[in-house]
Structures are given as structure tokens and as C-alpha cells.
Amino acid sequence: MWGYLLAGFVIMWLLQFYLTARQMKHYQMTVRRMSNREGGYLGVGVEKKKLGSGTVLVLVTNEEGIVEECRVMNGVTVFAKFKNHHKFTGKHISSLYDEKWKNPLNMAIEKIKQQMNTATTV
């Protein structure tokens, strides 16, 4: 009896490890694909919650700060995937606001602003 329980636990643990690795590969591939642009800036914002769904938001802007692409991954499980989010496309980063994704959106905007500041000072 204990052998089956232990074997089931090991199988579930290995499955969790595999699915987490798959999700990380999907994350890296998405960010790499979004960063392969001639010009502009990329910002990633993350919100982790102890209970509830976490959020990863990726923004790509042009040199003027206009959003060209936005993807959001939101969920509790390793099955969460990035989805296109067109609400912000075509808007300037200074005018973006969303109560649902407030923290990751602000984090991504701050990273883009930092990149803009270092680009102008160099």
C-alpha cells in the first residue's frame, strides 16, 4: 500500500517538474520572440500571489512609447499560457491603466521608462 502511494507521489512530482519546465520554455520563447524587433523597448511585469492567480504582463513599445504588442499570462496552474491583449495597443505608456493588472502593468511601464532614460543619456 505504501509503495503505491509513494510511487504515485513520485509520478506527480515528476509531472509537476516537467510541466513547470514546459511553461518556463514557453515564457522564454515568448519574451525572446517579442524582443526581436529593430527598435523599441520591452517591459515585463510580474505579480505573484500566495493564494490566487499570478500574472505576467509583457509590453513592447516603439521609441516614442506607443504600445505595439501586449501579452498576458494569468493563472494558477502550469497550464497558463500567454494571450494577446489588444486593450493597450496603440496607446502611450503614460496613459495606460487597468485595475485588474495594476501591479504588473506598472512594473512593465517602469522598466520601459528605465530603458528610455538610459537610451537618451548614452
Residue pLDDT, tens place only, 89-111 = 999 998 988 888 899 999 999 99
Number of domains, the chain: 1
Contacts of 109 (CB under 8 A, 6+ apart): 43, 45, 59, 93, 96
pLDDT above 80 for 15: yes
Q: Is the model more confident about 122 or about 4?
A: 4
Residue pLDDT, tens place only, 35-62 = 888 888 999 999 988 887 889 999 999 9
Q: Across the chain, which distance is largest between two alpha carbons, in Å?
A: 67
pLDDT above 70 for 121: no
Q: What is the pLDDT of residue 122?
A: 56
Q: Which CATH number does the domain housing residue 87 bear?
A: 3.90.1010
Give this prediction's pTM: 0.80
Q: How far is CA 102 from the centre of its chain?
A: 13
- Residues of the chain above pLDDT 90, percent: 48
Q: Which domain holds residue 98?
A: 2-121
